[in-house]
């Protein structure tokens, strides 16, 4: 357990608002660690375990703020490190091939965990409690080597020596598109079940009142480590603009030694069209809310474009978001985010 000082509690009003708007967060959210990273309150059973997790040299961690291209990068990195094993990629869920490190903290406590996962967990721990003993953390621990692990935790909640131990691929994406993508995700998935509209979501975003907020703190911690030899810093927009260029950077960073032709195959295998239609990289139907299922919005992998935000931001929302963008201060200044596809071939700072 973390000490009391490491946990920041929302005000009563904030907590009520969160519980009213996100039906999945019945127990409310708490802020953890120096940047007050918001997680469902049951996370306190796990946070120390995250910091003490034993990563090893052959691990690669895909660390991102939510909705920044994690799944795409996981599928790319897993495929590159597993000899382009397209068959396993199709047959085995990405969640098993590349586990979600902190998912024990995120899933809705009042919902059931997949029975097959529970049965396996109980066969190893007959007296254990899959909801409080870290079933998903154990999946990460037991993932076959070489492990490719997904996390949205900021660096301050990961083991302090993580970059001395293994490689980390950090992916950043412009916050306007992240906000739109996250709104859809939080609405459609039952772990969160957001019931507000987009302006409500922007309002919560601008006050850092949503799962795994805040955006700037997360990015600031990663930027501070950008020059580390074991950190590769990627941008979603750069991947969209010229995937082969970014795959070559990954090939060098990971030491995978793939040929140009093999990288082309990875690019095809991880195109949005292919990934949208591959069940193994999409959540099962019961991960979505009943409403999302009825409305056919089971779109964890959605549009995959740069600049969809223009379809959502009214002038009023734009003014509000602009004020929030300015709170990014130095961090925002250090990165020139690309907000439009046609901007994506300009040189980045």
Q: Which of 50, 28, 49 is nearest to 39 (CA)?
A: 28
Residue 30 contacts residue 38 (beta carbons within 8 Å): yes
191 binds ligand PPS (CB under 6 A): no
Q: Report the residue from 15, 41, 47, 70 that binds ligand PPS according to the rule CB under 6 A.
A: 70
Pick the stretch among 64-72, 90-98, 105-113, 314-322 that binds ligand PPS (CB under 6 A).
Answer: 64-72
Sign of CA dihedral 331, 165, 37, 299: positive
37 lies in the site for ligand PPS, by CB under 6 A: no
What backbone phi and psi angles, to 5 degrees, belong to 294?
-65, -40
By beta-carbon proximity to ligand PPS, the closer residue of 199 and 304 is: 304
Q: Which residue in 85, 133, 200, 308 binds ligand PPS (CB under 6 A)? A: 308
Residue 199: how many other CB atoms lie within 10 Å = 15
- CA–CA gap between residue 215 and residue 333 (Å, rounded): 14
Of the candidates 47, 64, 98, 105, which one interacts with ligand PPS according to CB under 6 A? 64
Residue 15 within binding range of ligand PPS, rule CB under 6 A: no
Instruction: Tell me the pairing of strands 29-32 and 37-40.
Output: antiparallel
Contacts of ligand PPS in 81-120 (CB under 6 A): none
Contact in structure between 242 and 248 (CB atoms under 8 Å): no
298 interacts with ligand PPS by CB under 6 A? no
What proportions of the chain, in percent to the nearest 5, are helix, strand and coil?
50, 10, 40
68 three-state secondary structure: coil
**Least distance to ligand PPS, CB of residue 49, Å:** 21
Q: Which stretch binds ligand PPS (CB under 6 A): 120-128, 135-143, 154-162, 267-275?
A: 267-275
Q: Write out the binding residues for ligand PPS, residues 165-184 only, by CB under 6 A.
A: 177, 181, 184
Instruction: Kindly write out the interface string for residues 198-237 of this chain, putting x where it contacts ligand PPS by CB under 6 A and - elsewhere.
Output: ----------------------------------------
């Amino acid at each position: 357990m973390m000490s009391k000082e490491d946990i920041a509690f929302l005000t009563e009003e904030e907590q009520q608002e969160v519980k009213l708007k996100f039906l999945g967060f019945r127990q409310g959210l708490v802020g953890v660690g120096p940047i007050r990273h918001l997680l469902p309150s049951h996370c306190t059973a796990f946070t120390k375990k995250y910091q003490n997790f034993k990563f090893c040299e052959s691990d690669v961690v895909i660390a991102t703020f939510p909705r920044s291209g994690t799944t795409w990068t996981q599928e790319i990195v897993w495929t590159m490190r597993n000899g382009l094993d397209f068959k396993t990629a199709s047959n085995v869920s990405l969640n098993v091939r590349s586990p979600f490190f902190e998912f024990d903290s995120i899933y809705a406590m009042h919902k059931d965990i997949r029975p097959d996962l529970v049965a396996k967990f109980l066969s190893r721990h007959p007296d254990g409690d899959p909801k409080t003993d870290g079933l998903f953390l154990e999946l990460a621990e037991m993932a076959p080597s070489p492990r490719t692990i997904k996390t949205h935790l900021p660096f301050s909640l990961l083991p302090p020596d993580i970059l001395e131990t293994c490689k980390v691929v950090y992916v950043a994406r412009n916050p306007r598109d992240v906000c739109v993508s996250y709104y859809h995700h939080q609405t459609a998935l039952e772990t969160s079940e957001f019931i507000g509209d987009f302006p409500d979501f922007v309002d919560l975003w601008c006050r850092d009142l949503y799962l795994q907020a805040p955006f700037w703190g997360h990015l600031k911690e990663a930027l501070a480590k950008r020059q580390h030899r074991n950190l590769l810093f990627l941008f979603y927009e750069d991947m969209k603009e010229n995937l082969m260029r970014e795959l070559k950077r990954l090939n060098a960073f990971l030491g995978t030694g793939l040929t140009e032709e093999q990288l082309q195959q990875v690019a095809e295998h991880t195109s949005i069209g292919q990934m949208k239609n591959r069940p193994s990289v999409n959540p099962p139907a019961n991960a979505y809310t009943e409403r999302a299922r009825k409305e056919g919005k089971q779109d964890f992998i959605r549009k995959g474009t740069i600049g969809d935000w223009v379809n959502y931001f009214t002038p009023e929302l734009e003014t509000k978001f602009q004020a929030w963008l300015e709170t990014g201060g130095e961090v925002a200044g250090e990165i020139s985010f690309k907000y439009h596809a046609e901007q994506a071939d300009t040189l980045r700072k």
